[in-house]
């Protein structure tokens, strides 16, 4: 019998999980105005709010931290990180930043101006925010199949090359400072982008003379999907696949808080020295000198080590396997989820789960609240609350999709915790007909309202 792939780590230090009663949780979520961001972490049993910055570092990362060199310029930690980035991504030039959105800020300050167009695949919120903040326009060229929540397509994160070509063809070259493609595609359900697609984008970008960057927060998970789903890649190592993915691009933005398994950090990788030089000026203004850019030496050391661990095939198999396990239990219980399971998260389709709740009463938030009350699970609504109001009409933006994301932190929870999460969802599903009403908004901020919104029951 073939032995299963196991987690390539064991536990050395543990952190307490907080238990609570249903009565306590009902009280707390009321006090939090039904906004899960307002809960204290001690009020949460299993925290699936995000997989970002919530991973568990290894003993090697912690010991690398002790060797951190805190010199302002030219620290050895900077060179450790530079070497790791060069080895894993192939980029000769890089700038450290304090997290992913800071990398976007520095890169887009260098490249994007008012009226520009930035095509991509379901740009992540902060990416979109940084483009729109500069009065430029993000154009979503994701494949149509991505909006079919249960279509079993292996690469639902892909860019539709025809849509992309239309954008490239119908706009002046100077209007398109870059194409930015997110791997994996978080907004579309943690779905991967194939190598063939990345190559196709590269060919178009070359033909039209436009730069091509990858938003790489989950690049290692994307490589794992290429290895396991795309013809011709099963015999290649994750590292070979990662190098090939980046070889087709001009650079990358990185939130190191995901696949590099650190609690804080980011960077930008560049192929072109001149662009790196231009961006360096913004890095110094916004982040810090180019050899630390918002990171301490110890954090750069931990990141260098984390890049190595995060690209380990056995680790990725167990990590993505755990997310898939959560998905398979949900399916077994009849719960409607986005399929195939994403790399970092399971997305529940709240409109199918709670068809009795109209969009105007925010079914995603209703379901997230019920999962909390039932089992102390913290998830996020990815629906109308997060989509904000239309900047001009101020109407709620109902996209037809109301999702709840259960994002699984790396190396943190056991499969038993996963079973607990699935059982919680099953209990809510069995009682779903008893849920009659949703929420109305009591107070909201003009933008990014979901972080601070206050709600009340209808």
182 binds ligand F0G (CB under 6 A): yes
Taking the complex as a whole, how short is the minimal distance between the CB of residue 173 and ligand F0G, in angstroms?
A: 26
Closest CB to ligand F0G belongs to which residue? Answer: 100
Is 124 annotated as catalytic?
Answer: yes
217 binds ligand F0G (CB under 6 A): yes
> Of 98, 156, 351, 450, which is the active-site residue?
450
Instruction: For CA atoms 266, 211, 107, 140, give the dihedral sign.
Output: negative
Entry field: residues in the chain? 458
Angstrom distance (rounded) from CA 292 to CA 68: 12
Site stretch for ligand F0G (CB under 6 A), options 124-132, 140-148, 237-245, 323-331: 124-132
Is 162 annotated as catalytic?
Answer: no
100 binds ligand F0G (CB under 6 A): yes
> Of 64, 205, 217, 422, which is the active-site residue?
217
318 binds ligand F0G (CB under 6 A): no
Site stretch for ligand F0G (CB under 6 A), options 97-105, 309-317, 395-403, 415-423: 97-105
**CB 201 within 8 Å of CB 167:** no
101 binds ligand F0G (CB under 6 A): yes
121 binds ligand F0G (CB under 6 A): no
Q: Please report, for residues 267, 388, 453, 454, the alpha-carbon distance to residue 445 in angstroms, rounded to integers and kept in the order given.
A: 30, 9, 7, 10
Backbone angles phi, psi at 425, to 5 degrees: -60, -40
Is 279 annotated as catalytic?
Answer: no
Q: Please report, for residues 22, 127, 332, 338, 427, the alpha-carbon distance to residue 370 in angstroms, rounded to integers and kept in the order given.
A: 11, 30, 20, 19, 10
Is 248 annotated as catalytic?
Answer: no
Taking the complex as a whole, how short is the minimal distance between the CB of residue 365 and ligand F0G, in angstroms?
A: 16
Angstrom distance (rounded) from CA 135 to CA 114: 5
> Of 79, 86, 125, 423, which is the active-site residue?
125
Angstrom distance (rounded) from CA 134 to CA 154: 34
- Residues 6 or more apart whose CB falls under 8 angstroms from that of 395 comprise 389
Is 450 annotated as catalytic?
Answer: yes
Binding mask 242-271 for ligand F0G (x = CB under 6 A): -------------x-x--------x-----
Taking the complex as a whole, how short is the minimal distance between the CB of residue 127 and ligand F0G, in angstroms?
A: 6
99 binds ligand F0G (CB under 6 A): yes
Say how many residues touch ligand F0G, by CB under 6 A. Answer: 16
Site stretch for ligand F0G (CB under 6 A), options 86-94, 98-106, 150-158, 364-372: 98-106
The widest CA-to-CA distance across the chain, in whole angstroms, is: 62
Taking the complex as a whole, how short is the minimal distance between the CB of residue 122 and ligand F0G, in angstroms?
A: 9
Taking the complex as a whole, how short is the minimal distance between the CB of residue 221 and ligand F0G, in angstroms?
A: 11
Angstrom distance (rounded) from CA 48 to CA 52: 10
Long-range contacts of 239-245 (CB under 8 A, 24+ apart): 239/88, 239/311, 241/195, 242/88, 242/89, 242/311, 243/88, 243/89, 243/90, 244/195, 245/183, 245/195, 245/198, 245/214, 245/219
Taking the complex as a whole, how short is the minimal distance between the CB of residue 12 and ligand F0G, in angstroms?
A: 26
Is 79 annotated as catalytic?
Answer: no
Angstrom distance (rounded) from CA 326 to CA 379: 14
109 binds ligand F0G (CB under 6 A): no
DSSP category for residue 434? G
Q: What is the number of other CB atoms lying within 10 angstroms of the CB of residue 355?
A: 10
Site stretch for ligand F0G (CB under 6 A), options 95-103, 205-213, 310-318, 447-455: 95-103
Helices (DSSP H) in 248-357: which residue ranges? Answer: 273-286, 297-310, 313-332, 350-353
- Residues 6 or more apart whose CB falls under 8 angstroms from that of 20 comprise 28, 43, 45, 376
> Of 82, 123, 258, 401, which is the active-site residue?
258
> Of 18, 37, 72, 133, which is the active-site residue?
72
Backbone angles phi, psi at 252, to 5 degrees: -150, 145
Q: Which is nearer to ligand F0G, 257 or 410 (CB)?
A: 257
**Residue list 14-53, contact with ligand F0G (CB under 6 A):** 50, 52
Taking the complex as a whole, how short is the minimal distance between the CB of residue 431 and ligand F0G, in angstroms?
A: 28
379 binds ligand F0G (CB under 6 A): no
- For the residues of 76-103, what is the DSSP string, one character each? HHHHHHHHHHHHHH--SEEEEESSHHHH
Q: Which is nearer to ligand F0G, 58 or 126 (CB)?
A: 126
DSSP category for residue 209? T
Is 125 annotated as catalytic?
Answer: yes
Q: Which is nearer to ligand F0G, 121 or 361 (CB)?
A: 121
Q: Which residues are catalytic?
A: 72, 124-125, 215, 217, 258, 450
List contacts with ligand F0G (CB under 6 A).
50, 52, 99-101, 124, 126-127, 182, 186, 215, 217, 255, 257, 266, 407
């Amino acid at each position: 019998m073939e032995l299963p792939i196991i987690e390539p780590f064991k536990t050395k230090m543990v952190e307490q999980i907080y238990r609570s009663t249903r009565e306590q949780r009902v009280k707390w979520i009321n006090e939090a105005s039904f906004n899960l961001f307002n809960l204290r972490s001690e009020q949460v049993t299993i925290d699936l709010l995000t997989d970002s910055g919530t991973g568990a570092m290894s003993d090697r990362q912690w010991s690398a931290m002790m060797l951190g060199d805190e010199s302002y310029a030219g620290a050895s930690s900077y060179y450790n990180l530079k070497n790791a980035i060069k080895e894993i991504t192939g980029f000769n030039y890089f700038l450290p930043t304090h997290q992913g959105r800071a990398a976007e800020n520095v890169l887009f300050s260098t490249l994007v101006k008012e009226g520009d167009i930035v095509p991509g695949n379901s740009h992540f919120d902060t990416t979109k925010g940084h483009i729109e903040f500069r009065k430029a326009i993000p154009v979503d060229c994701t494949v149509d199949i991505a909006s079919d929540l249960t279509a079993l397509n292996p690469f639902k994160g892909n860019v539709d090359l025809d849509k992309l070509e239309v954008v490239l063809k119908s706009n002046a070259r100077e209007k398109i400072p870059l194409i930015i493609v997110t791997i994996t595609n978080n907004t579309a359900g943690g779905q991967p982008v194939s190598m063939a697609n990345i190559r196709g984008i590269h060919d178009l970008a070359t033909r039209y003379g436009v730069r091509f960057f990858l938003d790489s927060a989950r690049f290692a998970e994307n490589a794992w999907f290429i290895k396991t789903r795309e013809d011709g890649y099963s015999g290649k190592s994750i590292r070979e696949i990662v190098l090939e993915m980046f070889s087709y691009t001009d650079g990358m933005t990185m939130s190191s808080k995901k696949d590099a398994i650190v609690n804080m950090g980011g960077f930008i990788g560049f192929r072109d020295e001149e662009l790196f030089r231009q961006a360096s000026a913004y890095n110094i203004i916004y982040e810090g000198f180019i050899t630390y850019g918002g990171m301490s030496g110890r954090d750069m050391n931990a990141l260098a080590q984390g890049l190595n661990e995060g690209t380990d095939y056995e680790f990725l198999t167990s990590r993505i396997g755990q997310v898939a396990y959560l998905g398979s239990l949900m399916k077994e219980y009849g719960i409607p989820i986005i399929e195939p399971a994403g790399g970092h998260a399971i997305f529940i389709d709240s409109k199918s789960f709670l068809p009795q709740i109209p969009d105007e009463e925010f079914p995603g938030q209703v379901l997230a609240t019920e999962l909390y009350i039932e089992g102390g699970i913290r998830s996020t609504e990815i629906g109308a609350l997060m989509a904000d109001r239309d900047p001009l009409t101020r109407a709620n933006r109902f996209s037809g999709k109301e999702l709840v994301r259960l994002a699984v932190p790396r190396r943190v929870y056991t499969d038993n915790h996963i079973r607990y999460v699935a059982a919680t969802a099953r209990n809510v599903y069995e009682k779903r007909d008893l849920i009659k009403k949703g929420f109305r908004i009591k107070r909201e901020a003009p933008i990014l309202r979901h972080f601070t919104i206050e709600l009340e029951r209808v």
